[in-house]
Amino acid sequence: MPMIGNDIQSHYRILVCRGDRRPYADLYAFNLQDIIPPFPLPLRSGDTEPIIDLQTLLNEVYEIYGYDLVVDYSQQSVPALSETDATWADALLQEKGVR
């Protein structure tokens, strides 16, 4: 999605647009090594917006469904990571005892 005047470089983005503020939106940019930032989920005008903590939700799904038992962490990621991110990921996986 094109964004005017956006020079933010990031691996991932969450774009939150409220119906009453279109075409303006809030951008939550983050990289692989960052925690996913919590963001408000727009509802109807006047409703209290819940804060979505996507990082916690993903961590819980990972734990509940045992992805650490299914994913082969000895393999390199596809698509390949940059050298910096690959070094970071390798260190993290070694710290977690899965590589």
Q: Which residues, 6 or more positions from 6, have their beta carbon under 8 angstroms from its beta carbon?
A: 27
**CB-CB contact of 12 with 39 (8 Å):** no
The reply to whether 21 falls in a domain is: yes
Range of the domain at 83: 72-99
Query: Is there a domain that residue 4 lies in?
Result: no
pLDDT in tens, 80-92: 999 999 999 999 9
What value does the mean pLDDT take over residues 17-33? 90
Whole-angstrom Cα distance, residue 29 to residue 13? Answer: 4
Same domain, 16 and 57: yes
Rounded to whole angstroms, what are the CA distances from 72 to 25, 38, 93? Answer: 38, 29, 11
Residue 99: what pLDDT? 85
How many CB atoms within 10 Å of residue 53? Answer: 15
In a domain, 79, yes or no: yes
Within a domain: 48: yes
Strands 39-40 and 51-52: antiparallel
Decide if 17 is inside a domain: yes
On the question of pLDDT at 44 being above 70, the answer is yes
- The answer on 61 and 77 residing in a single domain is no
- Domain-embedded: residue 98: yes
CA atoms within 13 A on the CB side of 28: 15
> Is there a domain that residue 97 lies in?
yes
Domain tally for the chain? 2
DSSP-based three-state secondary structure for 83: helix
